[in-house]
Amino acid sequence: MKTADQTVDEILNLAAAHFKVPKEKLSPDDDFFKTLAIDSLQTLDLLTKLENHFHVELPDYELQGVSDFRTLAEKIQARL
């Protein structure tokens, strides 16, 4: 079982690779809309990548109101 810190770290790695930004520029409490300069549809793309990586299925509504990596990690962690 992954720890919450591991999950958030893996999310940051994936987001950095997917959106081609240096990982050092990302931190768990970042607003990913702003840090990655993405819209909600691009966030859905990221979510698909995360689902494939963690082997979970997150309904769209789980993401409603979520805008930072740490909360996103918590949502994923709850389904691991």
Interface residue list for other proteins (CB under 8 A): 31, 33, 39-42, 44-45, 47-48, 59-61, 64-65, 67-68
Q: How far is CA 51 from CA 4, 11, 17, 24, 79, in A?
A: 16, 10, 15, 23, 10
Using the minimum distance from each CB to other proteins, give the nearer residue, 24 or 57. 57
Residues 6+ apart with CB under 8 A from 33: 39, 40, 43, 67
Using the minimum distance from each CB to other proteins, give the nearer residue, 12 or 46. 46
Using the minimum distance from each CB to other proteins, give the nearer residue, 7 or 68. 68
Minimum CB–partner distance for residue 69 and other proteins (Å): 13
Q: What token pair was written down for 64? A: 């409603």
